[in-house]
Each structure stands twice: as C-alpha cells, then as structure tokens.
Amino acid sequence: MRWQDYVERNPKVMVGKPVIKGTRITVELVLELLSDGASEQDILSSYPHLKAEHIRAALAYAAASLATDEVVFLGEDAA
C-alpha cells in the first residue's frame, strides 16, 4: 500500500496537517485514537466514511515521517 494514495497535506485544510484525503480527519487524530486504545473497528464505527486502508495509511505515513526525521540527543546539561 502507498500511504500517498490516502494521505494529503493542503495548507487550506486543517492548517496543512496531514489528513485522510477528501476529509478533515487528521493522521494525528487517527494515531491518538489508536494510542488511546481504540480498535480499528471503533474508529470505523465512529467515522463510517473511513476504511481500514485509511487507518493503515495513517500508520504508514507516521512510520515514513519518523524514518526521515533526524534525531538529536541533547547532553545532560541541556535539560
């Protein structure tokens, strides 16, 4: 699956946050729901216009975003 087929960023939609294409549902919301313990079925029931592939695309987008981030470790003195 290509997350690019399901996720888009548009400065005119949700201030440019990544959203499920054609919606105002942010990737961030999907990830928060999952991290709060919502199941895929819970999310699909709450947002009936979403499909399982949208949830997987949100996860794939997050993974791809993290894979391209540079991690900088600060020394103990920086805290």
CATH architecture of the region 3-67 = Orthogonal Bundle (1.10)
Task: Give the phi and the psi of residue 21 in degrees, each rounded to 5.
Answer: -50, 135
Q: Which pair of structure tokens corresponds to residue 50? A: 């979403």
**Contact residues for 34 (Cβ-Cβ < 8 A; gap 6+):** 43, 55, 59
pTM recorded for the entire structure:
0.84
CB 18 within 8 Å of CB 30? no
Distance between CA atoms of 57 and 61, rounded to whole angstroms?
6
Q: What are phi and psi of 26, to 5 degrees?
A: -80, 155
pLDDT digits over 20-67, tens only? 999 999 999 999 999 999 999 999 999 999 999 999 999 999 999 988
| Residue 79: pLDDT over 60 | no
